[in-house]
Each structure stands twice: as structure tokens, then as C-alpha cells.
Structure 1
Amino acid sequence: MPKANPVRKKIKIPSKMKWLFCSYDVESLDLKDDKDYIITQTLNYGVWDDLKWLYKAYSEKDIKAVLKNPIRGVWFEKVLNFWTTIFGINLPKKVWDKAIMNISPVSFE
């Protein structure tokens, strides 16, 4: 079993990134336990410096895994399209549709 990367273990979410996680206390977020949420928020809303931090905190394998199993209903369509294109990931239509944030009213007729 590979040893944990000690550098990554010491990494904390920078205070300048707090706005990405406004629904949470950043100090309570755990880089391992909250990995899917942290990666999703950073890819969906982050700027260049945030993305550089993301690559220090997580491997490309971790990032791809989150993109292959996107959190339901939180992704902007253009953002998810960008990242899946960059990483050469083809999501099944059903997975894609569930991942996209939809703020359009639903008719129950």
C-alpha cells in the first residue's frame, strides 16, 4: 500500500477560497472526507489560483474520479462540459442530466 503524501496531509484550504464553500465552516471541511465537495466547488466556481491549489491538494486521479461521478444537481452545464472535455471523460446522458443544476420551474401537469 502506498504511503500517504505528507505534503498533502498538511495542506489546508486557503482563506481566500472560503467564498467557494459559503455554506460550510471551512475549518470543519476535511480534505479526505469532503473531497468530492471540495473538488466540485473548486472546478465549478474557482479561479486560476484556486485550481493551482486544487492540484496541490489532490491528484489528477482524484479530480477525474469526481468528474466521472458528479454530484447531483450542482454542476453548471458549461463548466462540466469544459472539464469533462479537458479530461476526455464521456458521461452517460443519465448521469450528465442528473449532475446539471436545473433552476427552471418544473410543471407538474
Structure 2
Amino acid sequence: MHILVVDDDPLAGEMTAALLESQGHEPLLANDAMEAVEQLDAHSDIKLIVSDMHMPLVSGLALLAMLREQDNHLPFILLTGDIPDAALRQTPGLDACLCKDAELACNLEAAVKQALDS
């Protein structure tokens, strides 16, 4: 089972992938929404998407909306450098919105477990 990590910042993507790998998951990386779609087409065993919110061209929220329009309902976790407000956390189809902060490792582990158990 794979978890798709989408982040335009290679270092941030690698760090998120390393966190997931240390928690026993198999991450795949995509640098943008178009690569994410290619990965989804190439790997039928992707069970979860973890995406950065602020990316050029297609944001994480736009990627979520695009996937939902295509009837893709994989669990989706959004990561942001900002503090997510209540409205963002309540975005339809979003399983979690996490801040990229010192608590990310713990919060990501809990969010992934919850999303996969749903």
C-alpha cells in the first residue's frame, strides 16, 4: 500500500515521505498536481494522499476538488505552513489539515491512522 506525497518543495516532500516511511508506510512522491495524477494512474494501490496546500499552478485544495470531481474519494490530508482555520479544516472531502510545525510527526501519524481506519 502506498501513500502519495505531493509537494512542490523537494526537501519538504522528502521530509514528509521520510516521516511516513518511519511509521511503516510506503510513500510515493509527486512534485505537483499533474505528477500526482500520473502517480495515481500508475499505482492502483495508493490508499491516501498527503498534499502541500501552497503549490504553484494547482494548489492542494484545487487538487482535492479536481480529484473529487473525477470521483476519486481517496482519503486526503492537507499540509500547510500556515495555521489552518476552522473553515479550512471543514473543507468537504478533506480528512485532515495539519500545520507543518514541530508537532507534524505526531499529528501526521495520528491523521494517517484515522484516515486509513475510516
Q: Return the TM-score normalized by structure 2.
A: 0.31
Task: Name the larger-Rg structure.
Answer: 1
Q: Which structure has the highest strand share of the two?
A: 2
Q: Larger % of helix: which?
A: 1
